[in-house]
Amino acid sequence: EEMSNIILDQRGTIDKYEGDAIIAFFGAPVPLEDHAARACRSAVHMKKMERILNEHILREKLSAVPLVTRIGVNTGEMVVGNMGTQKRMDYTIMGNSVNLAARLEGVNKQYGTWILISEETYKTAGAEFAVRPMDRVRVVGISQPVRLYELVDEKKALDAKTAEGMELFRGGMDLFDQKRWAEAAVQFQQVLKVLPGDGPAETFLKRCQEFRQKPPVDNWDGVYNLSTK
């Protein structure tokens, strides 16, 4: 209920509940100019609500393990409307843009991130969010590679330590993109000194170590293929 209310407060439309997942969209049935920013704001606020809920859950011993939420956000054209048959009709969303958002939710596991957004969302959401660049990826149904970003927080809420770690990480990613594995590895180690246990820094440090031992093919363009779910 708490998570759903955050979406509704941002004027999002809850499509359905699927297992422990909430599928929601912004900008229909009522058009919203700032739909991407509202989606990102919802994601950030949900992660903050998760921390509050976990304090309660662990204090009251309602669960032996904390609640963890992964979120994928994408922006693009999709089909929205009543779909189905006369006997079973649903107001819902369909299309490649929807599939990518669902895909990103699971891809978080590969990077040790909690919120992944697509390049289109990053471009559309405006400058109020602190993000970190991840890989460029190819996804099914889209020929052009797209850059993925970790959505960290609203800029106004970002603490100094996280900001410092993010800046070091960006430097590491620049070196990584240039295939300068040894230098990038040092940079990611610096991130881990500032942000111990940081998932993306650990992920890319491991990649650097693997590429130093066995470099990718010479003509590798730095793009990863994301297969279908």
Joined tokens for residue 146: 């797209």
Round the average pLDDT of the chain to a whole number and report it.
Answer: 88
- pTM above threshold 0.85: yes
- β-bridge mates for residue 83, sequence order: 90
Q: What is the pLDDT of residues 10-43, one digit of tens each?
A: 988 888 888 778 999 898 887 888 999 999 999 9
pLDDT band of residue 141 (cuts 50, 70, 90) is low
Choice between 226 and 118, residue whose per-residue pLDDT is larger: 118
- β-bridge mates for residue 151, sequence order: 131
pLDDT at 140: 66
pLDDT at 228: 47
Per residue in 73-106, is it b (16+ CB within 10 Å) or e — as a string? bbbbebebeeeeeeeeeeebbeeebbbbbebbbe
Task: Please report the DSSP string for 19-66 in residue order.
Answer: TTEEEEESSSSS--TTHHHHHHHHHHHHHHHHHHHHHHHHHTTS-SS-
* 184 has pLDDT over 60: yes
Helix (H, G, I), strand (E, B) or coil at 202: helix
* 221 has pLDDT over 90: no
Task: Check: CB of residue 117 under 8 Å from CB of residue 151.
Answer: yes
Compute how many other C-beta atoms are within 10 angstroms of the C-beta atom of residue 227. Answer: 8
Mean pLDDT for 214-224 is: 81
pLDDT at 200: 96
pLDDT at 38: 94
Q: What is the pLDDT of residues 96-118, one digit of tens each?
A: 777 888 889 989 999 999 999 99
Instruction: Count the helix, strand and coil residues of the chain and give each as a percent rounded to the nearest 5.
Output: 45, 25, 30
Give the lowest-confidence range in 43-52, 55-64, 68-77, 97-106.
Answer: 55-64
The Cα-based distances of 31 to 27, 95, 143 in angstroms read: 4, 18, 28
Task: Check: CB of residue 118 under 8 Å from CB of residue 151.
Answer: no
With the C-alpha atoms ordered 92, 97, 98, 101, is the resulting torsion angle positive or negative?
negative
pLDDT at 16: 86
